[in-house]
Amino acid sequence: MLDQVIKKFLPNVSKVSDVFYESILETLKMFAIAGSISFLLGLFFGIVLLVCKPGGILENKWIYNLLDKIINVLRSIPFIIMIAALIPLTRLVVGTAIGTTGAIFPLVVGITPFFSRQIESALSGVDPGLVESGKAMGMSAFGLIIHVYLKESIPAIVRATTITSVNLIGLSAIVGVVGGGGIGNFAIMYGYQRSQVDATYVSVIALLIIVSMIELLGKRVLRNTKYY
């Protein structure tokens, strides 16, 4: 019954259903790998920005200004242009600039600066009084980061991660324009180049479902932290 419905309303997609399902797996693979790496890097750089800024617990204007400028520059470059600019470096790092493997590196470079800012903003929302109390109790800088900044910022970090994850799904679709694989590549190859409208629509629906699942997961995590 389901096969008949698909053939009726999605005739072109039904002919390449295996390619479509593979594109979904490729998108999830890019999201999982690039997302995990970007989460760790973004968390690290966000913390560095926070503690090294003027007035921070490890104030270092040189490190702060350098990292701040690098992040601003990377965030100002349109992602589609960044992909092209990173091709030589991508080939050097992962051995190829096409396919799912070639898409992961530019995705990490593209989303990490955004997530770093999100983390910096999330940590900056911590009550300064709590930081001062931690200092008064003799906490080290590392202790303040772990037990004050990160612990008190869990809800904000979850929200930042959810927002960044949604943005990452969008970027993973963009890499399809340059043969990066995934749902975006499927939409370009079959929906745009072959003028198969049903392929375009089913790609949009698949992306909407993935984004909705991410947002639902983010809300559930917030509820489980009892901060929502």
pLDDT recorded at residue 9: 65
Domains by residue range for the chain, with CATH: 2-224 (1.10.3720.10)
Helices (H) then strands (E): counts for the chain: 13, 0
Average pLDDT over the chain, rounded to whole? 88
C-beta of residue 225 within 8 angstroms of C-beta of residue 155: yes
The two structure tokens encoding residue 29: 């693979």
Distance CA 159, CA 156 (A): 5
What per-residue confidence (pLDDT) applies to 6?
A: 59
How much of the chain, in percent, has pLDDT values that exceed 70?
A: 94
Contact (Cβ atoms closer than 8 angstroms) between residue 145 and residue 47:
yes
Compute CA distances 148 → 135, 137, 154, 186, whole Å: 10, 12, 10, 45
- Percentages (nearest 5) of helix, strand, coil residues in the chain: 85, 0, 15
Quick check: 138 pLDDT over 70?
yes
Q: In this structure, is the dihedral angle defined by the CA atoms of residues 89, 92, 94 and 95, taken in order, positive or negative?
A: positive
Whether pLDDT at 194 is above 90: no
The CA distance from 85 to 106, in Å, is 9
**pLDDT at res. 2:** 42
CA distances from 153 to 50, 69, 123, 161 (A): 13, 25, 6, 12
